[in-house]
Amino acid sequence: MSTISIKTAEDIEGMRVAGRLASEVLDYITPFVKVGVTTGEIDRLCHEYMVNVQGTIPAPLNYCPPGYTPYPKAICTSVNDVICHGIPGDKVLKNGDVVNLDITVIKDGYHGDNSRMFFAGEPSILARRLSEVTYECMWLGIAKVRPGAHLGDIGHVIQQHAEKSGYSVVREFCGHGIGKVFHEEPQVLHYGRPGTLEKLEAGMIFTIEPMINAGRRDIREMGDGWTIKTKDRSLSAQWEHTILVTETGYEVLTLSAGSPPPPAIIGAPAQAVAA
C-alpha cells in the first residue's frame, strides 16, 4: 500500500485545477474535429491553446518512459482501429471516422489527464454504440469508487458491461495513479474480480480509462513504437476521467462546462456521492 501516494489538501486543490484545464482543452477543440481536418492540425490547435491561453504544459510532448523513444506531439489522436497513443500527423479525418483525443496538461507541477471520443461527420451505428458503451463502462467504474472498495471492483464492472454488450477489454493498458507524476501507482485494470487488488483510501487520485474493442481484445504495435491498434482491425473506443477518492465516495476532477453528462445507466445525480 505504501507505494500509492495519498494526496494532501494542497495536492488535491492543484489536481482540481489541472483536471479542469485538461477538460477545457477538449471543450475548446470540439468544434474543430470535423471532416477534412488533419490530426496534426488538431494537435497544433490544442498545443497553442495549452501554452498560450492556459499557461499549461502538454505532458505527452517528449514524454519518454523506459524503452520508448520520446513522444513527438502534444496530444494523442487515436482514429478508428487505433486503441491508444496515435501520433498526430497528416491523417485527414473522413466522414464516419471516430477519434479519441487524449489530453494531459501540467499546471503548477500537477497533471490533469482525460480523453473523449469524437465523430467526424456521421458515424456508423456500430461506432456510436461502441462509444456509448465505453462511456458507460468508464462511469460504471467511477461509480464504484469509495474508501474501502477495491480496484478489482472497478475492473469487474467495466469488464462485465463491455462483454455483455459483445465487446472486449484491452488488457495491456490500464488507468494509473497521477499527481505530480504522470504515471504512478496504482495500476487501474479495466477487468478483474470484485474484492481483489488494492483497497481504496481517501486521498488517492487515479485515472479510469477503459479501452474497449468492437472485435477481439488482441493488439498490435506499429513501427513508430507508440501507436497501438486492434489486431483484427476492429474499431476501438476509449474515455478517460481523473478521479479523487473522497471520504464518502468520489470526485471527478476532469470536469468542465463542456463535459458530457453522466450516462443514464449511472442514475442522477452522479456527483452527489462526492458531496
State the DSSP H helix or E strand holding residue 164, giving kind and residue range, or none if neither: helix 151-164
How far is 85 from 68, CA to CA, in rounded Å?
Answer: 12
| 11 assigned binding-site residue | no
| 176 assigned binding-site residue | yes
| 24 assigned binding-site residue | no
Rg, the chain, Cα only: 17
| 113 assigned binding-site residue | yes
CA atoms within 13 A on the CB side of 102: 27
| 41 assigned binding-site residue | no
Residue entry with cell 494531459 = 104
AA letter at 177: G
Instruction: Provide DSSP, 19-39.
Output: HHHHHHHHHHHGGG-STT-BH
DSSP 53: I
Query: Measuring CA to CA, which residue among 261, 241, 252, 273 is closest to residue 12?
Result: 252
How far is 268 from 272, CA to CA, in rounded Å?
Answer: 8
Binding residues for substrate: 85, 183
Binding residues: 85, 102, 113, 176, 183, 209, 240
| Annotation: binding site for a divalent metal cation | 102, 113, 176, 209, 240
